[in-house]
Amino acid sequence: MNAEREVRARIEQGLVHTESQAAFRNHLRRTDEIFAYNHTPPGEASRRRELLEAILGSVGARTVLLPPFHAGFGSNVHIGDDFFGNVNLTFVDDVDIRIGHGVMIAPGVTLTTTGHPVHPDRRVDFARFSEPIVIEDKVWIGSNVVVLPGVRIGRGSVIGAGSVVSRDIPPMVVALGAPCRVLRPITDDDLTTRA
């Protein structure tokens, strides 16, 4: 039990740990439920909702998550109200991914809490480290964005398609690129424009 406690502490601190060391967490994986969700007919909305509640750590009202989606665990993902997630959304959720209210995510986005050591000798047994991701309310994430471990995206911000978000993004900005950088603030002028 002490070994398990030590590995939990390493995970919580974002320190390197291995697949074997973290195996005690495998019961938290929702792979069968994710498979069932991804194969549930579109007309079975109540069954999809039931499965989503069984998969995710928490899920708000009026949530749309278009299949297929993928998750390492599923149980470490927490989604607020009025969420829209388009197809091929991937959650690498070895630790928490927290998504606020009114968030929209376009197709092909990856939210990954986990990375690996650079030196190959440190990657034995799939060694990794994990840091939580936070996406605040009313964020819009464009197609094919990758959000890396430990990132927080501030309320109301827009992340441009194809971006790689490796650092925190402040509230109410448009940010894009690889690496993702703030392009400009979002202002009241944006209430009257398309983009």
**Spatial distance between the Cα atoms of 195 and 49, rounded to a whole number of angstroms:** 33
Catalytic position from the list 27, 39, 70, 116: 116
Question: Residue 194's pLDDT is what?
Answer: 76
The predicted-structure confidence for 120-173, as pLDDT tens digits, reads as follows 999 999 999 999 999 999 999 999 999 999 999 999 999 999 999 999 999 999
Distance, C-alpha 174 to centroid of its chain: 19
Is 116 a residue of the active site?
Answer: yes
**Residue 123, domain extent:** 2-192
Mean residue pLDDT across the chain: 95
CATH number at residue 130: 2.160.10.10
Residue 3 has pLDDT above 90, yes or no: no
Coil/strand/helix, residue 29: strand
**Spatial distance between the Cα atoms of 123 and 120, rounded to a whole number of angstroms:** 5
Question: Residue 195's pLDDT is what?
Answer: 65
Q: What is the DSSP secondary structure assignment for residue 18, as one 8-state letter? A: -
The domain total for the chain is 1
Overall average pLDDT of the 36-56 stretch? 96
